[in-house]
Copies of this chain bind each other. A is one copy, B any other.
Amino acid sequence: MSCITLITDFGTCDHYVGVMKGVIHSIAPDVKVIDITHDIPAHNVLHAAFVLRQAWTWYPPDTVHLAVVDPGVGSRRKILVGRYGGQYVVAPDNGLISLVHHEVPVEDLRVVENARFCLPTISATFHGRDVMAPVAAHLAKGQNLRDFGPATDRLEVLQIEPCTTDAHLTITGTVLYVDRFGNLVTNIHKHSWVRTQTQRANAQVYVNGRCVGPIRSCYADVAAGEPLALIGSSDYLEISVNQGRAVDVLACGASATVEVK
């Protein structure tokens, strides 16, 4: 019996999370359910896709990641179940899986069509309860992926603008999102550097034109309240403030321009 993680935008005020957990435990009483987050901003598929991409690799084989941010519920969008790196993802086909899909080779990807693994009645507004939770529970119990529906190689894809490097080796990227600590997380991966170590040591980082100094090693490299740039724990360049909130100190957030030059 493997475990099931949950990523949703359901919040924690209502009954939605409790209902999904009830469905799961009714089908798979011995499964372990792990809350990753229920506080994805409502309908924000991109945020959920980021969280999924950054969390899933840390889990053991056969973990089932159930990710439900589903503004298109009840429309004709499909529901997908995929196997990546020995783990499973269950989610609506709205791009939520696509960042994982582009990062590692897909082992199997299926469209959920077999009603035998859904609840007897399927509502038009809560497929997390009626389809995705039951599918995740049956997967965790060992049901073969092939049994859920036909294979597919098509899925909706989220477009994330890549960072660019120009002839002067200036890297230009953007802030993808702001985390709970007010850190600005960019699309500049640490592997983006083509310059040599020496050159990188001299590089300065600019946020909307404002210099925040070179790339530091840790928050404590600057005084409390001062901004800095560093490689965050997910290997992307982040703009932070030591013991403060970059989003407030620098007065900018998602889609701000970040340059390394």
Q: Which residues of A are in contact with B by a Cβ distance under 8 Å? A: 3, 5, 7, 10-19, 21-23, 25-26, 29, 32-43, 47, 50-51, 54-60, 63, 71-75, 123-126, 129, 179-182, 217-220, 230-234, 238, 242-243, 245
With A11-B180, A42-B181 already in contact, the answer to whether A129 and B22 are too (CB < 8 A) is no
A89 CA to B4 CA, complexed, in Å: 26
B19 touches A243 (CB 8 A): no
A40 CA to B18 CA, complexed, in Å: 13
**A25: contacting residue among B34, B75, B234, CB under 8 A:** B34
B55 touches A37 (CB 8 A): no
With A71-B243, A230-B125 already in contact, the answer to whether A13 and B40 are too (CB < 8 A) is yes
A12 touches B25 (CB 8 A): no
B15 touches A36 (CB 8 A): yes
Chain B residues near A47: list those with CB within 8 A. 13
A-B contact pairs, 7 of them (CB 8 A): A10-B180, A15-B55, A17-B37, A19-B54, A22-B56, A23-B58, A25-B32
B60 touches A26 (CB 8 A): yes
With A75-B220, A218-B73, A218-B74 already in contact, the answer to whether A38 and B12 are too (CB < 8 A) is yes
B33 touches A21 (CB 8 A): no
Chain B residues near A36: list those with CB within 8 A. 15, 17-18, 21
Not counting A3-B25, A72-B220, A75-B220, a sample of 7 additional A-B residue pairs whose C-beta atoms are within 8 angstroms of each other reads: A12-B12, A18-B34, A18-B36, A21-B36, A22-B57, A35-B35, A75-B219
A21 CA to B63 CA, complexed, in Å: 12
B180 touches A14 (CB 8 A): yes
Chain B residues near A3: list those with CB within 8 A. 25
Q: Min CB distance, A31 to chain B, in Å? A: 10
**A43: contacting residue among B57, B126, B243, CB under 8 A:** B243
